[in-house]
Amino acid sequence: MNIGAAATASGLDINTMVKTIVDAERTPKEERINRQRESIDVSVSAYGKLKSALDEMKYMMADFRRNHTLAARTVTSDNTDIITASANHEAIPGKYNVKVEQLAQSHKIVSGTFDENQKLGAGKMTVSLGGGMFDVEIPEDESKIIDVVRLINRHPSNSGVMASVIKDDVGARLVLTADKSGEQNQIKVRVDAPVTSTLQKFGFNPNSDLNSMTEMQAAGDARVLIDGLAVVTSDTNTIEDAIDGVDLNLLAVPEAKDGVVPKDILVDVAYDRNAVGGAIEQFVNAYNQFFSVSQELGKFDPETQEKGPLVGDSIVRTVDNQLRNAFASPVEGAPESIKTLSELGVMTTMEGRLEIDYDVLDRQLEQNFADVGEFFGSRDGFARKIEDLIHAHTGITGSIKGRQNSLNDQNMRLNSEQTRLDRRMESVQKRTHDQFTAMDNAMGQMKSQLNSMMSMMPS
């Protein structure tokens, strides 16, 4: 801060002198604060890198456990124009012959033709779909066919009936379509209006042969035959769990060609060994990434004296040791065929990284596939063990969070120290400037008095 003018009675450069004195006191203190801040920032960044590398493993373990990643199944259809399929971890491997006999379809009915500008008269239509129904009140002045469509579609209790108008050269027709497929979702319309009312032409009862509206498409269930034995129906075109753990998505009914009856669709459920092997590779890569990060953060080169920001840090050593012990220790309750990572083919190198013996892994996936999933994904399995171990360090009450909180507290104390230093230096600057100004004034007065005395002496 520049206080006062540079020109003085004594000719002294007061501002420069004050700045030199203040800087001499401020600089070493401020440099110390900045060095500590820089050290804290480096440590905060280092703990952030360590936490990110650990969390990647933790989230992977959570996925293995919750989504049964290591018990994946694959399912194929030999004609995806007719059937596609999906399978969960409970699907039983096997080959199944599926014949699609009928697709599920929605009920659709249509009225006769009307002049689109004709008022059909006042009345009430009770529209039913499945187990739900709603009453549509039609006033005289809103009784054109388009008004009826609007009143049906906007009714707050509409349970899934969509109304529309089809126009042709003859006139306009009311079309009602169910938004749900299946035999149980049939549309029924009861009209409460005078017998002579035009609204009576909208009545429909699926159980009657005497209807004013015509059925364009019957409500129907999907139907399939599995292995020539089991007939399975569904009100949608998705057949769930007719084959344990498998959903069949029906797309079409195969048609005979040249009198040849189409063959059944082959649905093949198998263990997804490629997906499981790939997931294990991802885990190994995630650990090796953490290992590289921890080595970089905790390194020390005795020749160059170069060291990482977390050299000697107890958290890095603890996590390293805990993970290595977990990898080497048997998992309680695991299948007899796989108790440790090494029995799965995942080995620890002399350097400390993980590597895969693919001969062992492939053999376990071929012979003990279900055991692999249980080893990782059971209630107290390997995935939960590693997830909990890492969470103790990266969770909100974990050791890394505690260290980060401590560093943040140190940063706040440094901010307060900097604020106090700034205030003190402002005070020192003002006091020093005042002292130099007073000295300058005194020197000016002495100079003036001397000049006066000299002028009074005889020449």
Residue 225 and residue 91 in one domain: yes
| Cα 257 to Cα 261, 263, 390, 418, distances in angstroms | 7, 11, 61, 88
pLDDT at 5: 46
Q: Quick one: average pLDDT of 161-172?
A: 94
pLDDT at 286: 96
Find all residues with CB under 8 Å of 238, minimum gap 6, and list them: 247, 248, 249, 250
Distance of CA 367 to the CA centre of its chain: 35
| Structural domain count, the chain | 3
The whole domain housing 147 covers 106-217
**Amino acid code (one letter) for 350:** M
Residue 123 and residue 256 in one domain: no
Residue 122 and residue 145 in one domain: yes
Residue 454 lies in a domain: no
CATH value at residue 123: 2.60.40
Residue 448 lies in a domain: no
Helix ranges (H only) for 254-313 are: 273-297
Per the CB < 8 A criterion, the answer to whether 69 and 63 are in contact is yes
Cβ count within 10 A of residue 11: 10
pLDDT at 10: 57
Q: Quick one: average pLDDT of 179-198?
A: 94
Residue 198 lies in a domain: yes
What is the average pLDDT score of the chain?
A: 89
| Cα 378 to Cα 21, 65, 135, 286, 331, distances in angstroms | 71, 7, 54, 21, 10
Residue 48 lies in a domain: yes
Encode pLDDT of 251-309 as tens digits: 999 988 887 888 999 999 999 999 999 999 999 999 999 999 999 998 888 888 788 88
Residue 158 lies in a domain: yes
Angle subtended at Cα 241 by Cα 236 and Cα 244, rounded to the nearest 5 degrees: 160
Residue 459 lies in a domain: no
Highest mean pLDDT among 22-31, 192-201, 305-314, 434-443: 192-201
pLDDT at 136: 96
Percent pLDDT > 90 in the chain is: 64
Encode pLDDT of 35-77 as tens digits: 888 877 888 888 899 999 999 999 999 999 988 899 999 999 9
pLDDT at 444: 67
Residue 382 and residue 276 in one domain: yes
Residue 229 and residue 356 in one domain: no
Residue 409 and residue 355 in one domain: yes
Percent pLDDT > 70 in the chain is: 95
Residue 85 and residue 140 in one domain: no
Residue 99 and residue 161 in one domain: no
Domain boundary residue among 197, 217, 237?
Answer: 217
The neighbouring-strand residues paired with 175 are 110, 164
**Amino acid code (one letter) for 188:** K
Residue 449 lies in a domain: no
**Distance of alpha carbon 21 from alpha carbon 2, whole angstroms:** 14
pTM of the model: 0.73
pLDDT at 3: 46
**Distance of alpha carbon 179 from alpha carbon 325, whole angstroms:** 58
Residue 297 and residue 432 in one domain: yes
Question: Tokens 């027709």 sit at which residue?
Answer: 173
Name the strand (E) or helix (H) holding 88: none
Encode pLDDT of 222-253 as tens digits: 999 999 999 999 999 999 989 999 999 999 99
Residue 278 lies in a domain: yes
**Distance of alpha carbon 139 from alpha carbon 127, whole angstroms:** 17
Residue 384 and residue 423 in one domain: yes
Q: Does residue 432 have a pLDDT over 80?
A: no
**Distance of alpha carbon 33 from alpha carbon 415, whole angstroms:** 9
Domain boundary residue among 271, 300, 334?
Answer: 271
pLDDT at 12: 67
The neighbouring-strand residues paired with 271 are 73
pLDDT at 113: 94
Residue 197 and residue 287 in one domain: no
Residue 184 and residue 308 in one domain: no
